Structure 1
Amino acid sequence: MRTLAIVLLCLVVVANYGTVTALRCIQCQSVNATCYEPILDCSKGSADVSLQLLQVLKPSLVVGTKGDKFRCFEVDVKKEAVTVYIKGCIYDDVDVCAGETNEGEQGYCERCTSDECNAATSLVVNFGLLLGLLLAVKAYWM
């Protein structure tokens, strides 16, 4: 029975491997209220869209090699009574928090590397992995 539990655990880990390899970020822009959707898989396409938007806001933004690694980000810029919230996916080597904005003052800025980490709060649970682990534990102890 313990062999079955070990095999089941290995299958669960292998089956869920693909679900944790692609970084998922909230990609949106909003005025005076933060945004929470859509949630997209990071890719060169989504990173390029964010990069173009940020380069308009921050012309001094330094762009590196544009590799295959990504981060989620959130940048808030305030001008008078208006706050603009920008969230998205960006290349790992682009520091969205560095540099000056051409309009207003940058407030909150964060770069992060876990799924949906650019939400105000995030709790990500992979129920498939959780269920598989529970079944493996149960099989192990039977």
Structure 2
Amino acid sequence: MKLIAIGVILATIGFNAINALKCMQGIEVSKGDNNEVQKSDNPLEITECGATAAVSSTALLFAVKPSIISFPSGDYKCYHLKYEEKNSDTSTIIKGCIYNSLNVCDGKYSSSNTKESFCSQCDMDGCNSGERFAFDFKLLGLTLVALVAYLVK
């Protein structure tokens, strides 16, 4: 029973390690003091990183940071960029999957209309969302179930 429990845990970890990187991707616009979220053409959704996702995310970034140019690579990472309009209460959050060679957070930027207020990059599944700890809790739950099964038998 002990070997089965350990095997299940290792198989779960291995299965998740084999899967491609998954990131939140899309645009979210907040307006006003109450942070009312507006609908956008690209709603946030979990997407698997690949060439198509990286190109579309780079296009979203290029509209905000036109100086960002990178050569494609085989590795990917997630990003989370928030910028605010200078003359209004509107803020925009862009999330997505980009090539690992691209550095989104290389210095804060500011233009005549916008300013960057937050930027992060990461390379774990869902790390650019609020649900980034969900896998850790699933793994903890599986470990506890295996431990209880071992102790009961």
Specify the TM-score bucket, using the shorter chain as the normaliser.
0.7 to 0.9
Partner of 1:109 in structure 2?
A: 119
Query: Residue 26 of structure 1 contacts residue 119 of structure 1 at CA under 8 Å; is this kept in 2?
Result: yes
Partner of 1:45 in structure 2?
A: 52
Counterpart secondary structure, 2:134 = coil
Q: Which amino acid aligns with 1:107?
A: S
Q: Which amino acid aligns with 1:22?
A: A
Q: Structure 1 pair 128/105, CA: closer, same or farther in 2 (3 Å)?
A: closer
Counterpart secondary structure, 1:75 = strand
Q: Which amino acid aligns with 2:114?
A: G
Partner of 1:95 in structure 2?
A: 103
C-alpha RMSD of matched pairs (Å): 2.9
Deviations along 1:49-102, whole A, 9 cap, x unmatched? 101111122111131x32222111111121221211111111111111226465
Query: Residue 34 of structure 1 contacts residue 85 of structure 1 at CA under 8 Å; is this kept in 2?
Result: no
Partner of 2:11 in structure 1?
A: 14
Q: Structure 1 pair 117/127, CA: closer, same or farther in 2 (3 Å)?
A: closer
Query: For 1:60-139, what aligned pairs fall within 5 Å after superposition?
Result: 60-63=67-70, 65-79=71-85, 80-81=87-88, 82-98=90-106, 100=109, 103-120=113-130, 122-125=132-135, 129-130=139-140, 132-138=142-148
Structure 1 unaligned residues grouped into runs of 5+: none
Query: Residue 8 of structure 1 contacts residue 132 of structure 1 at CA under 8 Å; is this kept in 2?
Result: no
Q: Which has the higher contact order (CA 8 A, sep 6+)?
A: 1
Query: Residue 58 of structure 1 contacts residue 101 of structure 1 at CA under 8 Å; is this kept in 2?
Result: no
Ranges of 4+ aligned residues in structure 1 off by more than 6 Å: none
Counterpart secondary structure, 1:73 = strand
Q: Structure 1 pair 78/22, CA: closer, same or farther in 2 (3 Å)?
A: same
